[in-house]
Amino acid sequence: MEPGKRGLTMTAVAVVCAITVLAAPGPAFANPSPTPSPTASPSNAPSLPPNKDLEAVHKKLDRLYHDAAVATDAYNAAEEKAKEQSTEIVELARKIVQGQRRLDDLKDRAGAAARAQYRTGGLPPEARLMLSDDPQQFLNGAGRVLQGQRATKGLIGEMTRTQHDLEQYAKDASAQWEKLEAGRKAKAAAKKKIKQQIAAAEKLESQLEKQEKKRLAELERQAAYQAQTAWLDTGILKEITGKASTPGKKAVAFASAQLGKPYEWGAEGPDTFDCSGLTSQAWAAAGRPVPRTSQEQWKQLQHIEVADMRPGDLIIYFDDASHVGMYVGDGAIVHAPRPGRTVTIAGAGTMPILGVVRPDA
């Protein structure tokens, strides 16, 4: 096998083999969000004696889980890019294999022409034509010689173009592989940070006594209740009158059917979900695919005023768009909160709202 041919073939094989190193999926996140009644009144607010130590723990847990949420979005984004890049590499490998076969065929045809010339004594067609004593044969042969020249020129041109294409495919595949490798490192770094943040949060919680854990849970419920009440007190619920679209109803039905399933970072179901895994799968089930991460959902989907939202719309939370929930009506969302929690219903105002997006605008 010629060096150039062998190199291109090895490139195709290497490209195909590279796909097998893609990392297995991990689990995207959310800040902790308790589940108060969306329309609860202030008179029912739970009371809890002040406890500065537990409040500090609560805030620290919030920060740890929030940082895990941000890292999870980075992990999921890297995972999505890896899928796209691996698909591109596979397509380039297919083109390389097909191009190599085409080049082999062209070389065989060129070799056949050379062997035919050898069998005629090595004389080119023009020389053999000039030696002919038959005028008619001369005229007929002149046309064939012209056709042969054009065919030879076309064959050489096609071989050159095919060789060039193969070289370009190999360069493109190499570039995609470099991107894939960079993404793998980014994903590994994000995964490490997720585990670190969750481990720190779990360690902190494990140091609490049983009664302290109960009081901490009560603190979380109280904070969520106060946030939801403040949101409702703006009168926003009177303005939100939108009805769900047909795809929106399907998305809400899918998300609601997942209630009680555990949160797992990077998970897209069917048994576990993270926040954007739940919303992306719900809208995929409704026939309207959306970006995988909460940050990309915020960037790519149409923004809607909070007062104009309807069931099925996605509410994006926190300034860094690190959490997402699906509005289901009556001031409530369904979402996958954070590690250690399950898919649940919560007040839409229990976390700082960045904005609302509509997948089926």
Which positions are annotated as active-site residues? 275, 323, 335
Distance, in Å, from the CA atom of 194 to the CA atom of 74, rounded to the nearest integer, reads: 10
Distance, in Å, from the CA atom of 246 to the CA atom of 57, rounded to the nearest integer, reads: 43
User: Which amino acid is it at 162?
Assistant: T
Return the residue matching tokens 């929690």.
Answer: 341
What is the CB-side half-sphere exposure of residue 304 using CA atoms within 13 A?
22
- For 307, phi then psi, to 5°, come to -65, -20
Distance, in Å, from the CA atom of 329 to the CA atom of 352, rounded to the nearest integer, reads: 18
Return the residue matching tokens 């062997």.
Answer: 115
Alpha-carbon 191 to chain mean position: 16
Query: How crowded is residue 115: how many other Cβ atoms within 10 Å of its Cβ?
Result: 9
Long-range contacts formed by 40-48: CB under 8 A, 24+ apart = 40/225, 40/228, 40/229, 40/347, 41/229, 42/229, 45/222, 45/225, 45/226, 45/229, 46/218, 46/221, 46/222, 46/225, 47/222, 48/215, 48/218, 48/219, 48/222
Distance, in Å, from the CA atom of 338 to the CA atom of 323, rounded to the nearest integer, reads: 10
The strands making up 353-358's β-sheet, listed across from edge to edge, are: 302-304, 353-358, 314-317, 323-329, 332-335, 344-347
Contact yes or no for 268/325 (Cβ under 8 A): no
